[in-house]
């Protein structure tokens, strides 16, 4: 079936199968920042925003995003780069495979919760797994990026 969606502020028509998941549709259309890491809906690597909400694109049937706004990291390049610089400076960037999904969740956190506590940051980011780091560097980077002192 054909669906019309807005991806990174551009109107796009996608042809999708009924049983196709959004992560696959996005990758097919060249949004290769969208990664798949677990096949069990738990790693968060495929995170994109649907109408501003961070969502597992591997678990959303593509037809369901008809008429909605999708944002991938390609659509928030400036903000993503600002955070990526801090992430790298904290030594929390290693293989980089999980970074696009992680960064999309961090940016969503920034939009959703002003001045979060450390507990709120950890709770918000629990759905993003990283197998290289110990998360402490990531946490330092998030706090620095958000200007949180706790």
User: How are beta strands 47-50 and 53-56 bridged, if at all?
Assistant: antiparallel
Site for another protein in 10-29 (CB under 8 A): 17-19, 21
Shortest distance (Å) from residue 122 CB to another protein: 9
Binding-site member from 33, 128, 133, 138 for another protein (CB under 8 A):
128
Which residue lies nearer to another protein by CB, 126 or 150?
Answer: 126
What mask of x and - would describe binding to another protein in positions 66 to 105, judged by CB under 8 A?
Answer: ---------------------------------------x
Shortest distance (Å) from residue 149 CB to another protein: 23
Number of H helices and E strands in the chain, helices first, is 5, 5
């Amino acid at each position: 079936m054909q669906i019309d969606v807005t991806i990174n502020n551009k109107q796009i028509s996608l042809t999708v199968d009924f049983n196709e998941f959004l992560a696959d549709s996005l990758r097919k259309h060249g949004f290769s920042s969208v990664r798949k890491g677990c096949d069990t809906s738990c790693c968060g690597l495929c995170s994109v925003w649907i109408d501003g909400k961070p969502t597992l694109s591997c678990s959303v049937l593509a037809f369901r995003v008809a008429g909605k706004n999708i944002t991938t990291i390609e659509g928030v390049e400036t903000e993503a780069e600002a955070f990526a610089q801090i992430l790298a400076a904290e030594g929390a960037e290693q293989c980089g495979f999980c970074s696009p999904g992680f960064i999309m969740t961090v940016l969503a956190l920034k939009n959703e919760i002003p001045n979060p506590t450390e507990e709120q940051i950890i709770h918000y980011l629990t759905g993003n797994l990283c197998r290289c780091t110990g998360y402490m560097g990531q946490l330092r980077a998030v706090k620095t990026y958000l200007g949180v002192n706790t």
